[in-house]
């Protein structure tokens, strides 16, 4: 913390072992150079490119990630319900219907301040789960009751740019940050919205460079040519970290700057 400013580093979808290795090599130096007070990473693809297990959770936490967000792939692996129930800092989207295991948001203290990390999932082009707009309202109300003044960070795991931007404007001024995940492609539209929320449509992925969204290129080419449901496999080779750094004013809880990250 410096001059009343705190910083949140949000990391895009971590893809398999290449993504974990990239974080092993680069996250510590990145945190030190950026002065990040809290690190949030989307880990739904950390286990071989699809899903997440206890080993991957433990690895991400040991590398310095404070909260792990996810999305539609969190349910891919056996034992996901038990893992979510046992790991409060591993989130699943809050707008899954009542009865789904795990938590959709969590409070965490870092840098001497209280943070609230909220995970939501879109519905356009994805599963028709509960409304992310209305669930966000309910979550923010609960957060305000439990931790008044907490800095709210939102990971919106969604396919549609329109839906991502619409939710960001809906939460503008109420969340310090709304950052999109899911497409694995880092966008160049980072900005501060009129009421003070920091926004980017997609943080990108932390995974193999020589790939198609983290998957072996030849598999994706064959899928495109044949339209057959060929099993996707995580690519290998050199990997990088992608995400964004958000500077937030402690007085207003508004975002002061957004900087894309590639390391």
Domain boundaries, the chain: 5-207+240-262
For range 221-233, the mean pLDDT: 93
For range 87-105, the mean pLDDT: 97
Cβ–Cβ < 8 Å for 8, 115: yes
Average pLDDT over the chain reads: 96
Could you tell me the pLDDT band of residue 215, with boundaries at 50, 70 and 90? confident
CA distance 217 to 209: 11
Identify which of 124, 147, 143, 125 has the alpha carbon closest to the alpha carbon of residue 135: 143
For range 203-227, the mean pLDDT: 93
Could you tell me the pLDDT band of residue 233, with boundaries at 50, 70 and 90? confident
The pLDDT value recorded for residue 160 is 98
Is the pLDDT at 22 greater than 70? The verdict is yes
CA distance 211 to 49: 12
Could you tell me the pLDDT band of residue 1, with boundaries at 50, 70 and 90? low
The hierarchical CATH code for the domain 5-207+240-262 is: 3.60.21.10
For range 53-82, the mean pLDDT: 96
Identify which of 9, 15, 3, 47 has the alpha carbon closest to the alpha carbon of residue 182: 15
- 118 by Cβ neighbours in 10 Å (0-12 / 13-18 / 19+) ranks as buried
The model's pTM is: 0.95
Give the residue numbers annotated as catalytic, written as ranges: 73
pLDDT tens per residue across span 102-153: 999 999 999 999 999 999 999 999 999 999 999 999 999 999 999 999 999 9
Bridge partners, residue 90, by sequence: 68
The pLDDT value recorded for residue 3 is 73
């Amino acid at each position: 913390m410096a001059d009343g400013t705190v910083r949140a580093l949000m990391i895009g979808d971590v893809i398999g072992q290449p993504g974990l290795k990239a974080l092993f090599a680069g996250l510590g130096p990145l945190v030190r150079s950026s002065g990040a007070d809290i690190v949030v990473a989307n880990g739904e693809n950390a286990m071989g490119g699809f899903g997440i297990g206890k080993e991957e959770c433990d690895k991400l936490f040991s590398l310095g990630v404070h909260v792990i967000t996810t999305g539609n792939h969190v349910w891919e692996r056996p034992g996901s319900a038990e893992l979510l129930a046992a790991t409060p800092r591993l989130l699943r989207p809050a707008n899954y219907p009542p009865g789904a295991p795990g938590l959709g948001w969590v409070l965490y203290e870092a840098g001497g301040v209280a943070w609230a990390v909220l995970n939501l999932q879109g519905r356009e082009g994805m599963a028709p789960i509960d409304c992310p707009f209305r669930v966000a309202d309910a979550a923010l109300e609960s957060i305000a009751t439990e931790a008044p003044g907490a800095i709210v960070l939102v990971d919106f795991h969604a396919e549609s740019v329109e839906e991502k931007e619409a939710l960001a404007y809906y939460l503008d001024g109420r969340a310090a940050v709304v950052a999109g995940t899911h497409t694995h492609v880092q966008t160049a539209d980072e900005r501060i919205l009129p009421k003070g929320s920091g926004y980017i449509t997609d943080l990108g992925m932390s995974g193999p460079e020589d790939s198609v969204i983290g998957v072996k290129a030849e598999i994706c080419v064959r899928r495109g040519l044949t339209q057959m449901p060929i099993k996707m496999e995580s690519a290998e080779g050199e990997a990088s970290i992608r995400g964004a750094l958000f500077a937030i004013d402690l007085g207003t809880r508004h975002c002061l700057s957004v900087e894309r990250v590639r390391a």
